[in-house]
Amino acid sequence: MSGPLLRVEGVTKYFGGFTALAGVSLDIAQGERFGLIGPNGSGKTTLINCISGSLRNDGGSIAFDGKEISGLPAYRRTRLGIARSFQIPRPFGSMSVLENLQVPLEYVVHRGALHTADTRGEAMQILETMGLADKAATPANGLTQVQLRKLELARAMASRPRLLISDEAMAGLSSSEVEEVIAILGRLNDTGIAIIMIEHIMRAVMRFSQRVICLDAGNIICEGPPEAIVKDSMVQKAYLGA
């Protein structure tokens, strides 16, 4: 099928009387590298929550692979191929780092055929790409903030998604670690996985993305290739003026 991988149309979300998303529309193509920026509180995480199913959108539609998903529980969307990381890390704290990855491996990738799967081995491979291999046996609640952010990405990768949404995974990382994560996401993207990168580190988003959207107060104020976005006066106003 040649349609977009993800189609978001007129999505609205209200918290009481507050409008967090005021009719957001966007398309993500198969294998696209997509940047989502916007000032704090502009609705980026809320949009991700609506796409991943952690929240239900109040209006509009969300289609994945041409199929309406806005009524589906989050676990079904993950099984369809949407994975996300959490901006505020939500590890399975009582499990080891390795076991954290076994959850999506057991519940998404090898569901129904567990006895033939080597989930520990697969989890270990992913941890190696994320540079967390030496932490495999560590309880997740004993990790540092930086390690927790890497674990978020690793766990999202473990569900073998077709669309990976990274919500500020690089906050607090050193510049060499940022480079590392960009490289990892780039390699994932090379295998055909579409990636939505939400990031405050402009340099990272601009370098990584083929296309960028800027949200402000629940509205898309600008969309285009990274070079155009940095020059856009609305974006500059939203970032500097707000």
Partner 1 sequence: MIPRNARFWTGAAAVIVLAVIVSLSRANEYFFFAGFVVLQSVVLATAWNILGGYAGYVNFGTAAFFGIGAYMAVVVINATGAPLAVQILAGAAVSGLLGLGTGLLTMRLRGIFFSIATVAIIFIAETLITNWRYVGGATGIQLLRPPLMEPFGSYTRMLFVVMAVLAVIAVSIARYIETSWIGRGLQAIRDTEEAAECSGVPTLKLKLFACTVSGALMGAAGAPLPMYLSFLEPASSFSLNYSVAALAGAIIGGTSHWLGPVIGAILLASVQQIVTVTIPGEINVLVVGVLLVVFVVAAPDGVLGLLRKLRGKLRRPRAPAESPS
Provide the binding-site residues for Mg ion, judged by CB under 5 A: 44-45, 87
The angle that helices 145-158 and 119-129 make with each other, rounded to 10 degrees, is: 130
Q: Least distance (Å) from Mg ion to the CB of residue 45?
A: 3
Q: How far apart are CA 117 and CA 105, in angstroms?
A: 9
Does the protein bind partner 1 through residue 92 (CB under 8 A)? yes
Instruction: Give the interface segment with ligand ADP, choosing from 33-41, 58-66, 71-79, 174-182 (CB under 6 A).
Output: 33-41
Instruction: Give the interface segment with partner 1, choosing from 59-67, 153-161, 207-215, 220-228 (CB under 8 A).
Output: 153-161
Work out the number of other CB atoms within 10 angstroms of the CB of residue 235. 22
Q: How far apart are CA 5 and CA 119, in angstroms?
A: 28
Q: What, of Mg ion, ligand ADP, partner 1, none, does residue 81 touch, CB below 5 to 8 Å by kind?
A: none
| Site pattern 35..74 for ligand ADP (x: CB under 6 A) | ---x-xxxxxxx----------------------------
Q: What, of ligand ADP, Mg ion, partner 1, none, does residue 84 touch, CB below 5 to 8 Å by kind?
A: partner 1
Q: How far apart are CA 191 and CA 139, in angstroms?
A: 30
User: Which residues from 159-198 bind partner 1, rule CB under 8 A?
Assistant: 159
Q: What, of Mg ion, ligand ADP, partner 1, none, does residue 208 touch, CB below 5 to 8 Å by kind?
A: none
Q: What is the DSSP letter of 109?
A: I
Q: What, of partner 1, Mg ion, ligand ADP, none, does residue 15 touch, CB below 5 to 8 Å by kind?
A: ligand ADP
Q: How far apart are CA 237 and CA 2, in angstroms?
A: 37
Pairing of strands 33-37, 18-28: unpaired
Q: How far apart are CA 72 and CA 92, in angstroms?
A: 23
From candidates 149, 150, 155, 211, binder to partner 1 by CB under 8 A = 155
Taking phi first (over 0 means left), then psi (-120 to 50 degrees means alpha), and beta for anything else, what does residue 99 get?
Answer: alpha
Q: What is the dihedral of CA 117, 120, 124, 126, to 10 degrees?
A: 50
CA 10, chain centre distance (Å): 20
Q: What, of Mg ion, ligand ADP, partner 1, none, does residue 71 touch, CB below 5 to 8 Å by kind?
A: none
Instruction: Give the interface segment with partner 1, choosing from 4-12, 21-29, 105-113, 201-209 (CB under 8 A).
Output: 105-113
Q: What is the dihedral of CA 198, 39, 200, 45, to 10 degrees?
A: -30
User: Which residues from 29-58 bind partner 1, rule CB under 8 A?
Assistant: 52-54
CB half-sphere exposure, 109, CA atoms < 13 A: 22
Which spans of this chain sit near ligand ADP (rule: CB under 6 A)? 15, 20, 38, 40-46
Which spans of this chain sit near partner 1 (rule: CB under 8 A)? 52-54, 73-75, 78-79, 83-84, 86, 90-95, 99, 102-104, 106-108, 111, 114, 155, 158-159
